[in-house]
A and B are shown apart, each in its own frame.
Chain A
Amino acid sequence: MNVTMLLEMAADGFGDRVVTGPRSGGLTASRLRELAAGAAGRVRESGAEAVVHLAENGPAFPVAFFAAAFAGVPLVPVNYRLGEDQLGRLLAHHPKAYGIAGEDRHEALLQAGLSVRTPADFLQAADDAAARGGAEEVQADPDATAVLIYTSGTTSEPKGVVLRHHNLTSYVLGTVEFAAAGEDEAALMSVPPYHIAAVSNVLTNLYAGRRCLTLPSFTPDGWLDLVRAEGVTNAMVVPTMLARIMDAPGLDRSVPSLRALAYGGARMPPRVIERALREWPHVDFVNAYGLTETSSTIAVLGPGDHRAALVAKDPRSRARLGSAGRPVPSVELEIRDEDGRVLPPGESGRIWVRGEQVSGEYAGHGPAVDGRGFFDTRDRGRLDDGYLFVEGRVDDTIIRGGENIAPAEIEDVLLRRPDVADAAVVGVPDDEWGQRVEAVVVPVAGAVLDPEELREHIRARLRGSKTPDRIACWPELPRTPTGKVVKRDVVTGLTAAPD
């Protein structure tokens, strides 16, 4: 199985349907296939070993994705916000690649030995080649690499995650039904193309027959305008985007066409999701948990669970709003302790997963799975009544005097307050305890936070050892463009400024 098989099916099944871009002037499934096959010829002629895409999301992205697949080489979507040094180190892995980039990045690609053209020129070249016709089709080996995605590297140097054709096609066939979307449906993707959700989104929406729109640079009013103008029915955001949509004052937040909103990529503050559920009572909310290494979603909290939790009286059902829901049927999930023993329900440990969509493989390192094929997500979590609660990265766990403290539990207490917009809890080096607990909070607009009062608030709900020794108020947290808190920058900021 190859991702081009999904494109062939879409072109055979609903070739005249617009699948990417605006309703008028967007690309139909047949046209996407033609352009991708045309561009594949160009990639093959160039002798490139990969296609590097270093640009904002737009029609060139799906064309580049399938062109790479037809040509039998990996697509490498690269973060266009990377600094010069980081970009240089990354491009050094792909000197013989076919580059697609905005003009401001051409120099960097040329220096690294790549050929380069703008997204517009790439589409033009694809069009010319398609008009000449006769591009020979090759079905890439299902074991070939379909995409190589660099992790955001919030806890270490970015690593290249290898996703093979069989990983991605298994993910699509395991979670989506062919042509299940109505002709009027349109999906809006707001995360950049170097994020796994944007990659999997190209495939899942195409396979479902849902037109796909992109928003290259997110603003709350830009997002709302586009949803209304294009009649968007499905959208995916990261939690910081939903927070900005809900928090911005004076916005018209009406979204009559919207039916489903998926979110993921970072933890959702309860305040934000509760607000959104009340603001948009007609919308189905979906929390998706997954990693780049697992070809996107491995657990889903569905619309019914969201609504049930919002009105639930008992704390157990209410707490489910903070869960990642249930594992998808095609994935097996285990919670294990540090020695690899499988833990019973309710106990916290490392989340391990197995399934066809799970690659767990890093470029140059081979698969990082155990003897039974399970991959260590390096996320902490627990299963309660079959619901997965994700408690943050194992690497972010604070070890204070031998006690393991998960920052997520303390962050949850802070984020439940109506006056706290954002919060991060970290371990700061300490001579006596090894690490001590410190926190940074961001007040909601107009609020003033008293660190002492916040500490008392936490002490009243959690143990004393989990009460931060110090709480600092910052105007915002350091986050990646896809909404993940960069904890090492929080630690640096806290240790640099004693108060």
Chain B
Amino acid sequence: MKLRPGRQLASAVDGTRMVVVRAPAEEVEVTCGGRPMVDAAEAPAPTAADPARQDGTLLGKRYADEALGIELLCTKAGQGTVEVNGAALPVKEAKPLPASD
């Protein structure tokens, strides 16, 4: 699917929600628990997760791959592993700026 910043993705296997912070130019497949994530505006048909893909996500964490140019923010935590093109997306180390307001 073609991602764009601001787009919300919903899991088909659990309550996981991810929002796109940085989108790659090319199309990618984003999955949760082994099943494709869909636009949060469409209610995904509930599907059974791949039991081998249950590493879970943490609320507020950023998941990113520099080489792909993708960053997703977890806005609702779930149990499924979030993967892009079949590879688990690692948590991005936070480098917060000093609070400015």
Contacts and interface: CB of A to CB of B under 8 A. Distances in A.
Given A5-B75, A8-B75, A297 B5 contact: no
Contacts of B97: 175-176, 300, 302, 328
A303 interface: yes
Given A13-B59, A170-B5, A177-B94, A300 B73 contact: no
Contacts of B98: 260, 262, 284, 286, 300, 302-303
Given A9-B75, A178-B60, A180-B94, A300 B100 contact: yes
Interface in A7-64: 8-9, 12-13
Contacts of A204: 99, 101
B61 interface: yes
A297 B101 contact: yes
B100 A173 contact: no
B73 A288 contact: no
Contacts of B8: 1, 5
Give the secondary structure class of B's interface.
Answer: loop
Interface residues of B, number: 19
A200 B94 contact: no
A382 interface: no
B46 to A, nearest CB: 21
A343 B61 CA distance: 39
Given A1-B6, A166-B6, A177 B96 contact: yes
Nearest to A265: B101
30 contacts: A1-B8, A1-B19, A5-B19, A5-B75, A9-B59, A13-B59, A169-B6, A170-B5, A173-B19, A175-B97, A176-B96, A176-B99, A177-B94, A178-B59, A179-B60, A189-B101, A200-B101, A204-B99, A205-B99, A208-B99, A234-B99, A260-B98, A262-B99, A264-B100, A286-B99, A288-B100, A297-B100, A297-B101, A302-B98, A303-B98
Interface of B: 5-6, 8, 19, 21, 59-61, 73, 75-77, 94, 96-101
Interface of A: 1, 5, 8-9, 12-13, 142, 166, 169-170, 173, 175-180, 187, 189, 197, 200-201, 204-205, 208, 210, 234, 236, 260, 262, 264, 284, 286, 288, 296-297, 300, 302-303, 328, 356
Given A176-B99, A260-B99, 20 more contacts: A9-B60, A12-B77, A13-B59, A142-B6, A170-B6, A173-B19, A177-B94, A178-B61, A179-B59, A179-B60, A180-B94, A205-B99, A236-B101, A262-B98, A262-B99, A296-B100, A296-B101, A297-B100, A300-B97, A300-B100
